[in-house]
Structure 1
Amino acid sequence: MFGLIQKHKRIAVIIVTLASLSFLFWMFSVSDVKQMLTGNPCVATVGDECITLREYRFELLKYSNFLQDERTEKLARRVALNSLITKEVLYLKAKELGWYVSDEEVVEVIKNDENFKEKGKFSVEKYRETLNRFGLTPAEYEEIVRKSLMAQRVLNFLREGVYVLPDELDIQKRFYSLRVEGKLYLIKPSDVKVDYEPSEEEIKEYYEKNKEKFKEEEKEVVYVWSLKDKEKVKEYYENLKKGSIPSGYTEFNENLPPKVKEAVKELNQENRIKVVRVGENYYLLYYKGKENAGYKPLEEVKEEIKKELVAKKQREKLKEFAQEVFKNLKEGKEVGVKPLAFSSASLEEIQRILMVEQKDLLNLVFGKEKVYGPYPSLAGYGILVVKNRKFEELKPEQVKEIERELKDNKFNDLAGLFVEKLIKEYGVKVNEQLAGI
């Protein structure tokens, strides 16, 4: 809103931009600057639209907790990028349909945002300070809001076309109201004994067939020079352009300043050189490329393979035993497994123990068989013997909740298919190096 109301102050942005560029021209020649600024500044492109690095970083703020953990970092980055791509394709579809969002609507959303209020009222100063803290200009943020509103308009249009048929609701009600009486036979790994020692030939064969499992991680190599003399920076930069690598570098490591680590993500085969200033130091970065990943030697992974082969044999034996128990129960024979009796189990409770597929759930609800399974469980397999089925009467509010959930699921499926179609239609290109995924 600050940008919409005070457009005449855009000259301040131009002055800041010129000041930043003047530093580059002071330090390097014009051709140097051009080369340093080449490369794709877009994390992704959707048609002709660019999802900028700044937009991406702003979106990542929502997932900051997950970015701190290396186990979830890449997933969080992918989710953030997918969110931006989804919004972009929906925005383009809205434009194509001739829909728009007025400045007044954008202003209204921003003015009602609690993040920009002081003492319950919108504050221009707080708005500007908040955006500045996140590295966004008002114009950029207002465009983000506008795109979000236009994307939401398309989704709202899709949602209006979603409805639930009476038969669909009746079937879903039966899923929720079913209560089963019967017995559960749990087949555990301790129920089978495996006397098996993999041979050298089996170990070698497994290694050769599954070699990709033992591939060393591919490593991207970046050389880093930490320099204080800007003339030396220029000299090294010129040498790197000519293909000559100066001495005195170290390989990239996690102990470097955050600003340097962030800049490294922007390097790739096309954009190999970058200079970052941190305090009095200049960091010259050079993308050397990817090191060929080799394979761990057989001797190093032999014990791991042995364990996997023994575990595989045990899984096979366990499945065979579960199928044998199932067959005997179907034939009314005695089995050597003690069952657990239950009197009124819901499908939800059954699914907490057994991994029952959708088609098998239908059989449990509408089938007339007595024995079902074997289904995988966390510890092995489970077999259900149904003695009796009954359907409880649901409360009106429960029926409304079921209908709402069914409608939401149908909408999510429809929206997902629609977005996939738009992605193919507009074309999406992702700069994985820049996105860090």
Structure 2
Amino acid sequence: MASGAPRFFVSHISGVAVFDPAGDQVGRVRDLVVILRPGRRPPRLLGLVVELSTRRRIFLPMTRVTSVQAGQVITTGVLNVRRFEQRPTERLVFGELLDRRVTLVDTGEEVTVLDLSVHQLPARREWEIDRVFVRKGKKGGAFRRGKGETLTVEWSAVTGFSLEEAGQGAENLLATFEQLRPADLANVLHHLSPKRRAEVAAALDDDRLADVLEELPEDDQIEVLGVLAEERAADVLEAMDPDDAADLLGELPEADKERLLSLMRPSDAADMRRLMSYEEHTAGGLMTTEPIILRPDATVADALARIREPDLSPAHAAQVYVCRPPEETPTGKYLGTVHFQRLLRDPPYTLVGSMLDDDLLPLDPDATLPVVAGFFATYDMVAAPVVDEAGSLLGAVTVDDVLDHMLPDDWRETEFHLEEGEVPDGG
């Protein structure tokens, strides 16, 4: 998100234009999608409903919004043009929250909601509605002039929005589990009934469900994917790490696999097919096709900006891979690796091409799991490049992928919980 736009009132982006990074308009904002939480906790802003020039309305996740400024919203690029369908846990700001009668907690007085303030949480990509602009007196339409005192209060200062604590719907269940890490939520889902698991999966947004699917046992992954509509299943697969998505696709019947691949973006489907062409327990089968790739004329500042991307896992952010164009895998000639620690030691204007670690031989895509594990253990690495015979970077293997395939098949079913005050060994 742009540092200059950590907060905005929803009325200010009603109908504003949405642009891609090249400056081309792709549509206009028609609504905002939030998820309510129990008690008086502020709701989380999931994304925007954008109307394209074709009049189709689509969902734009806030994780793919890079800037919210007066008169415009900037996206990261490619949009998912699947028609927006509101889920049971979601609320539309313009359609359901504005012009609503709520009650001030302190006085019990009924007021009308005129506007809502959204702010970005510090050091995170999440956005919350934290303040409510209300008018006392008789009911009046949002954004319209009227009599009565107006004031801005904290979200917790009003009641009439939030979920009731009681109830067993997926909405309340999701609100309860919202703060869980994907691995912990996956553990919870594993122990739910199939019906309950399907309800929660249907209510999760695509990115969250993708993160959780990556942590589920294989049988649960297949079950959850099977209860989703095919178009949504393809979207969730696209949101997963390519190596995890390829592993999951590889477990499906051939007809189902091909049908889902045909619904995915061609570039994503090509990555999936390439990954599935390798044996599962080889470097090619373990690797991700989306490591951080830079040209040799990129600077340390460029590299650090890429590493700061919050969606990256620590292992993926541990180093960058320097290659000749093209910069998408398979790349041009692989030149070497620059480790995160080295980036911290050199001035921001230094070219990454001048600081390569090219002493270690990269992994061959056909290297077996024991060879890959031995490489990591010998050289104390957390990630390693995979390069073909032509010298092109195909992807990168991370230590978590190696562990996933070396641990027992049922390791994901183990619950890792510490008693209060207990510290892990070595901590």
TM-score by length of 2: 0.21
Larger Rg: 1
* More RCO (CA 8 Å, sep 6+): 1
Q: Relative to total residues, which structure has the larger strand share, 1 or 2?
A: 2
TM-score by length of 1: 0.20
Q: Relative to total residues, which structure has the larger helix share, 1 or 2?
A: 1
